[in-house]
């Protein structure tokens, strides 16, 4: 809730009446107004005058910018076709219509290249879907009824602060909380038990758990016989995964694996919460597919608070009328779709036909967030590439733009916010007028459509009209949740039944209608039909993994001093044995490198990190000399097994003392 005095936002607080967040704001949003009123906000269209990457711009008018963009695009379309334009967006803006609506209609109907947005959640969804037909599970709030909770590859306290009280409440009611993470994160520290697994070994761990469950008769055979296919084949498969056989690969003792398997299988209800850490590996989809077999074997889905709880985003989108928003029927069919992970590779690919001649980036900072940063920079620096970035700040990516167009902040535009973590749909009412000449994403696409001479009314639909259409799906979970009610109350809980157990009686949305321990669909794609460890990377040096920071939202907020100060310098954290072997000491200025590039960082030595691993924060951090550095300088465009994601954590690095200051 924003208080406003004479058109200026003077205070921003959480809504104490919101049952899920209870008025608590995270370390980022607590200072959101600093972001809104930051002196570095882009408030007017900017045109590049320096070299690409240099960040020198002059102010121009909207009319000039729009006319130039439209004419450049028309030339490109004339010469190469509309597929030579790549609209590139991610989830920087989280609202329903600001994230994707008129842009999809405009660029889809022009026949521009499509973008596969697969770096966040898509792999998890694809993997889980192979087993249970969906990437979502139960309502996360039901966790309070769970008695055995596994936070698997997620750092809840840092990335999902509002969920932590629910975990705590479950603990208070007697639940045991286990964290599976190679790093002793804050969340691992606060849990009852931390299992410091070796990276990418989660599927193997799950197979060993299933071995124990089968061997010791801990499988709910009644549930499995009624609601799953492929159990006999699975029993054969898990024979090879006795805990003592896999312990060293998994990086845990056989006794711990045995104990974990037995506790998990015998405590009811049990809940798994696997998140992003597991999907950023080349075996990411197989890891989710395999982990999703566990609650099938235990029959945990039968119980309130049992099963698996992942993102709720799809639950929101499934009940809203998204076709009314995106209008897929106006999109040109058969256009090329490029994977966001491969941005650098595609920009530098001389054989790509047609080549990418123009990029329009909004709600994303791919130079920091995509793998292989050097290649992305090389691509963005191409003189023949025409780049437009719609942003609040001149981000790392925006420095390469020909035009930077000013974007509104969340308190300056209208939207609905579906949630990743709960079932409350929120109304995002604009509290202040757009600052300077900033426009919302939807307004940008209306202006671009106008500049391109388009006149179809559906390219100019208002935000309110699209939101009303999305809410008018007639889905029972939206009953009574009207635009007016949301405007008045600010939020509403989807009308999901109070004790919703989606798979208590089977009803899986797979091809067979059952949980697929054996998957014909995977076999037909040439993949292993059974749960498996998946394809694991090999390499020398330290395995590099990264994660989110407390004070940034990915790279967002990294332009603001307070947040920068809180995060400090970019560091690489490793175990004392690995530091010792390299002659490194705490606080040393080091160079982290591999064949793709190098970054400078401060060396941190700690017991939080298992031997063999280098851990670095992801976001937009700076080194001791104030230069922005990114862990993605060291990661490759490694595809995941399926789901089209990015194996960010398949990278290996060396760490050396930094010779002399440059
Ligand atoms: N403060 C803050 N909150 C955020 C974000 C942010 O940038 N800042 N980003 C948001 C976004 S976009 C997302 S997707 C969510 C992500 O939410 P999380 O999934 O909780 O975030 P990550 O930091 O990616 O955490 C993944 C954890 O997985 C661990 N991990 C890495 N590899 C493996 C592995 O092989 N096995 C296991 N078991 N664990 C592994 C990492 O050490 C890390 O602790 O957070 C959201 N919330
Ligand atoms: N090594 C490594 N790489 C990773 C990850 C990791 O853990 N490790 N995490 C991955 C994950 S899970 C994700 S989700 C991606 C994130 O990748 P990105 O989405 O590219 O990252 P952000 O830094 O969040 O960039 C979003 C941008 O949107 C801008 N923005 C915010 N609101 C608006 C708006 O209303 N309009 C417009 N036009 N712009 C707006 C913000 O200022 C910000 O610059 O990174 C991925 N990359
Ligand atoms: Mo993400």
pLDDT digits (tens, 9 = 90+) for 543-563: 999 989 988 888 888 888 888
Nearest residue (by CA) to ligand 1, atom 12, is 554
Domain residue ranges in the chain: 1-37, 39-117+317-493, 123-310, 542-657
Residue 547 alpha carbon to ligand 2 centre in Å: 13
What CATH number has the domain spanning 123-310? 3.40.228.10
Separation CA 59–CA 46 (nearest Å): 5
Q: What is the pLDDT of residue 486?
A: 97
Separation CA 610–CA 593 (nearest Å): 20
Residue 661, pLDDT above cutoff 70: no
Q: How many CB atoms lie within 10 A of CB 458?
A: 15
Distance of CA 166 to the CA centre of its chain: 22
Closest by CA to 616, choosing from 580, 583, 640, 648, is 648
Q: Average pLDDT of 642-653?
A: 96
Residue 23, pLDDT above cutoff 90: no
CATH 3.40.50.720 fits 542-657, yes or no: no
Residue 497 alpha carbon to ligand 2 centre in Å: 34
Domain range 39-117+317-493, its CATH number among 3.40.50.740, 3.30.160.20, 2.60.120.260, 3.40.50.1260: 3.40.50.740
Do domains 39-117+317-493 and 542-657 share one topology? The answer is: no
Residue 253, pLDDT above cutoff 90: yes
Q: What is the pLDDT of residue 27?
A: 82
Residue 383, pLDDT above cutoff 80: yes
Separation CA 284–CA 289 (nearest Å): 9
Minimum-distance ligand to the CA of 178?
1
Cα first-last separation, the chain: 48
Atom of ligand 2 nearest to the CA of 547: 7
Q: How confident is the model at residue 660 (pLDDT cuts 50, 70, 90)?
A: low
| Residue 657 backbone phi and psi in degrees, to 5 | -60, 150
- Per the CB < 8 A criterion, the answer to whether 43 and 406 are in contact is yes
Report the pocket of ligand 2 as residue ranges, CB < 6 Å: 90-93, 98, 119-120, 276, 362-366, 369, 390-393, 395, 407, 441, 546-548, 553-556, 618, 631-632, 635, 648
Q: Average pLDDT of 223-230?
A: 98
Residue 279 alpha carbon to ligand 1 centre in Å: 10
Which of the pair, 92 or 46, is modelled with greater confidence? 46
Residue 26 alpha carbon to ligand 3 centre in Å: 17
Q: Which of 136-145, 404-413, 624-633 has the lowest mean pLDDT?
A: 624-633
Residue 186, pLDDT above cutoff 60: yes
Closest by CA to 477, choosing from 465, 493, 490, is 493
């Amino acid at each position: 809730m924003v208080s406003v005095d004479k058109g200026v936002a003077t205070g921003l607080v959480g809504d104490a009446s919101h049952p899920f967040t209870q008025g608590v704001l995270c370390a980022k949003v607590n200072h959101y107004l600093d972001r809104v009123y930051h002196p570095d906000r882009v408030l007017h269209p900017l045109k590049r005058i320096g070299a690409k990457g240099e960040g020198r711009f002059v102010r121009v008018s909207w009319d000039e910018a729009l006319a130039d963009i439209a004419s450049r695009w028309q030339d490109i379309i004339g010469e190469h076709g509309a597929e030579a334009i790549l609209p590139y967006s991610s989830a920087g803006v989280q609202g329903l219509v600001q994230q994707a609506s008129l842009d999809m209609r405009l660029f889809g109907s022009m026949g521009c290249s499509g973008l596969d947005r697969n770096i966040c959640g898509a792999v998890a969804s694809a993997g889980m879907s192979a087993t249970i037909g969906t990437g979502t599970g139960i309502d996360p709030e039901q966790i309070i009824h769970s008695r055995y909770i596994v936070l698997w590859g997620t750092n809840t306290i840092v990335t999902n602060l509002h969920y932590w009280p629910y975990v705590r409440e479950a603990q208070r009611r007697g639940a045991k909380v286990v964290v599976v993470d190679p790093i002793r994160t804050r969340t691992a520290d606060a849990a009852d038990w931390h299992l410091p697994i070796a990276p990418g070994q989660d599927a193997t761990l799950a197979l060993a758990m299933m071995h124990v469950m089968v061997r010791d008769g801990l499988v709910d055979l009644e549930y499995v016989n009624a609601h799953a296919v492929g159990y006999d084949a699975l029993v054969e498969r898990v024979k090879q995964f006795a805990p003592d056989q896999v312990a060293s690969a998994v990086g845990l003792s056989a006794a711990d694996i045995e104990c974990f398997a037995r506790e998990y299988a015998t405590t009811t209800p049990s809940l798994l919460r696997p998140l992003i850490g597991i999907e950023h590996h080349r075996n990411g989809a197989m890891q989710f597919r395999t982990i999703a077999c566990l609650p099938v074997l235990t029959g945990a889905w039968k119980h309130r608070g049992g099963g698996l709880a992942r993102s709720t985003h799809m639950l929101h989108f499934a009940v809203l009328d998204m076709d009314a928003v995106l209008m897929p029927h106006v999109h040109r069919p058969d256009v090329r779709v490029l994977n966001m992970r491969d941005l650098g590779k595609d920009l530098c690919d001389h054989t790509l036909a047609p080549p990418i001649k123009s990029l329009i980036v909004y709600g994303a900072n791919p130079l920091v967030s995509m793998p292989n940063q050097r290649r992305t920079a090389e691509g963005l620096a191409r003189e023949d590439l025409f780049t437009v970035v719609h942003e609040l700040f001149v981000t790392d990516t925006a420095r390469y733009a020909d035009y930077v167009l000013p974007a509104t902040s969340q308190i300056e535009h209208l939207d609905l916010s579906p949630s990743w973590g709960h079932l409350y749909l929120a109304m995002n009412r604009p509290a202040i007028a757009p600052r300077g000449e900033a426009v919302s994403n939807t307004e940008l696409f209306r202006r671009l459509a106008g500049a391109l001479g388009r006149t179809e009314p559906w390219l100019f639909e208002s935000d309110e009209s699209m939101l009303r259409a999305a809410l008018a799906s007639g889905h029972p979970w939206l009953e009574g949740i009207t635009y007016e009610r949301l405007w008045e109350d600010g939020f509403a809980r989807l009308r999901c039944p109070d004790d919703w157990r989606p798979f208590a009686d089977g009803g899986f949305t797979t091809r067979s209608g059952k949980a697929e321990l054996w998957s014909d669909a995977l076999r037909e794609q040439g993949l292993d039909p059974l749960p498996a460890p998946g394809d694991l990377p090999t390499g020398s040096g330290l395995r590099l993994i990264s994660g989110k920071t407390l004070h940034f939202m990915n790279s967002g907020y990294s332009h603001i001093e307070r947040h920068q100060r809180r995060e400090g310098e970019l560091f690489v954290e490793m175990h004392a044995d690995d530091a010792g072997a390299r002659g490194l000491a705490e606080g040393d200025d080091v160079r982290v490198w591999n064949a793709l590039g190098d970054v400078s960082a401060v060396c941190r030595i700690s017991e939080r990190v298992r031997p063999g691993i280098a851990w670095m924060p992801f976001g937009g951090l700076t080194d001791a000399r104030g230069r922005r550095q990114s862990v993605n300088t060291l990661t490759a465009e490694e595809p995941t097994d399926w789901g089209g994601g990015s194996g960010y954590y398949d990278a290996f690095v060396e760490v050396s003392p930094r010779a002399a200051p440059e």
